Amino acid sequence: MIHERHPQRRLCRFLSAAAALAGCVLAGTPAQAAEPITIGFGMALTGGLAAAGKTALLAMQIWQDDVNAKGGLLGRPVKLVYHDDQTNPPAVPGIYTKLLDVDKVDLIVSGYGTNMIAPAMPIAIAHDRLFLGLFGLAVNSEFHYPKYFSIIPNGPDPKHAFSQSFFEVAMRGNPKPQTVAIVGADAEYPKNATEGARDAAKSLGLKIVYDKSYPPSTADFSPIVHAIQATDPEIVFVASYPPDSAGMLRAATEIGLKTRYFGGGMVGLQYTAVKLQFGPKLNGILDYDYWIPAPTMQFPGIMEFLKKYQAKAPSEGIDPLGWYLPPFAYANLQILGDAIEGTKSLDQTKLADYIRSHPFNTIVGEVSFGRDGEWSKPRILEVQFQDIQGNDLEQFRDTKAEVILEPAEFRTGEVIEPYSSVKK
């Protein structure tokens, strides 16, 4: 064995070799060697919105992988930093304070849904941060914050646009309906949705025969459906989150709700798990949606994204189709990434100015922003569940189970009414 007589020289040679090797590695992978650009958010991974929140997270992780595979942004990798908001609005301000003050993230986006976005707004405003909101209904109508942008196709007047297509379908009926019942949870999203529905009903000359809210903790919806039925409305507009959408549908089916048009703002009926649970009980319901794979909605890149999503979804135990929220969660970060590359900056004001003044080509189509950071043009779908025979997944892959009624340029069928007979 040969012993080095000068250990200092041996150490110098070792350090020089190590430095040279490190230099080669860093030179070969510049995006991975640079400090990552961090994007922080809370997301419903438990609680009532978790079924959708988990799908949004997977979509965002797919975007992260896609971007990093292309070298990242500004020559730096992208890293998502997230915390479970537990579908608990009071927890949201603390999460965003931690993201900004402790995690020191470069950028923030929202979790899923109006009730989770609204509590984060004051934190974003106080820190003067760009903030992209995922599926929030009219969240910025009170704040008018210039650095907020809404990733939901409700247009510049979201409170009214949200229910517009529902009422347009109903008012084409012959004879025209005369009466409407309006019901929603006592929470941020349903309040905004029912306010718009109330204004729409009045402008159309409809008589509002029932107009009440219920506590978000409500479990038994039978008394509510009985009370609605007692007023004999021709239209029933419901604004509800997933647990109460399921409860309302269950009660309407068991009681045998008699009305011509039922639904409108029921969040959760877009989820594949809920579709499989209720099957034929969905028939006749009118509800909003934002994208289904109809021939009229084949935007560039969306089917490629869904192929990736659907390959990963089974192992994650989440919605196997991913039509509702995931494309928009991906598009949300597409817009942010394009703005970063467009400005060559992480400056919050420059990014906000760029997003406000540029259109974006995304997997959910072209997006541009107008007043209060809402989409400049609404694109809310009104769909009706029709001819569902069982509870198997394959029939829900066929878009014939969900017919697009509005807008006209995306229409794939015509409405069947009354609800009372269609659901049988």
Structural domains counted in the chain: 2
Residue 126 lies in a domain: yes
341-351, pLDDT tens digit by residue?
Answer: 999 999 999 99
Residue 15 lies in a domain: no
Mean pLDDT of the chain: 92
Question: What is the mean pLDDT of the segment spanning 223-251?
Answer: 97
Which CATH number goes with the domain that contains 311?
3.40.50.2300
Whether residue 38 is found in the same domain as residue 118: yes
Whether residue 166 is found in the same domain as residue 224: yes
Whether residue 47 is found in the same domain as residue 194: no
Residue 381 lies in a domain: no
Whether residue 270 is found in the same domain as residue 394: yes
Whether residue 284 is found in the same domain as residue 302: no
Whether residue 253 is found in the same domain as residue 363: no
Q: What's the confidence (pLDDT) of residue 245?
A: 96
Residue 194 lies in a domain: yes
44-98, pLDDT tens digit by residue?
Answer: 999 999 999 999 999 999 999 999 999 999 999 999 999 999 999 999 999 999 9
What is the Cα 84 distance to its own chain's centre? 16
287-299, pLDDT tens digit by residue?
Answer: 999 999 998 899 9
pLDDT of 306 strictly over 70: yes
Q: Per-residue confidence at 424, pLDDT binned at 50, 70, 90?
A: low
Whether residue 162 is found in the same domain as residue 266: yes
Residue 8 lies in a domain: no
H helix or E strand, kind and range, residue 270: none
Tokens of 423: 């659901």
Range of the domain at 112: 32-153+298-373
Whether residue 185 is found in the same domain as residue 282: yes
Whether residue 39 is found in the same domain as residue 138: yes
Whether residue 191 is found in the same domain as residue 267: yes
377 φ/ψ angles, rounded to the nearest 5 degrees: -135, 130
- List of long-range contacts for 225-228, beta carbons under 8 Å, 24+ apart: 225/251, 225/252, 225/255, 225/257, 226/255, 228/181, 228/183, 228/257
What is the Cα 170 distance to its own chain's centre? 26
Residue 155 makes CB contacts below 8 A (sequence gap 6+) with 161, 370, 374, 375, 376, 377, 378, 379, 380
113-157, pLDDT tens digit by residue?
Answer: 999 999 999 999 999 999 999 999 999 999 999 999 999 999 999
What is the Cα 142 distance to its own chain's centre? 20
pLDDT of 32 strictly over 90: no
Q: What's the confidence (pLDDT) of residue 28?
A: 41
Residue 9 makes CB contacts below 8 A (sequence gap 6+) with none
Please calculate the CA angle 308-381-167 and round it to the nearest 5 degrees.
Answer: 160
Whether residue 211 is found in the same domain as residue 173: yes
